[in-house]
Amino acid sequence: MRVNAVWMPWPISTVPQLTMTPPVVVAFHGSAMNGKMMANFSGLSAKADQEGFIVVYPNGTGPRDPFLVFNAGEERFPSIERPNDVKFVAALLDD
């Protein structure tokens, strides 16, 4: 997904055989991680399969993967563009 000209991919866990619109959990990774690492670390995909919800593991931005962060108001990497993560999550949930 492109938000403000910044490509922000995200891994997603899908739930098999849904009969209704499921809840969505957005699992943000910590600093110096990425979405794939968060998926492996959290165990939320297995829980989503058991309980019938969708988990989205967005990637932050940063100088290089896996040294990614979310824009929490601090300037951790002043040399890179600071994307609007609130706008990104809104677009992600609309998608």
Q: What is the pTM of this model?
A: 0.72
Contact assessment for residue 56 and residue 12, using Cβ atoms and an 8 Å cutoff: yes
pLDDT tens digit at each of 95 positions of the chain: 444 444 445 555 555 666 678 888 889 998 889 888 998 999 998 888 888 888 888 888 877 888 888 876 666 666 566 777 888 888 878 86
Q: Which residues contact 62 (CB under 8 A, 6 or more apart)?
A: 68, 69, 76, 77, 80
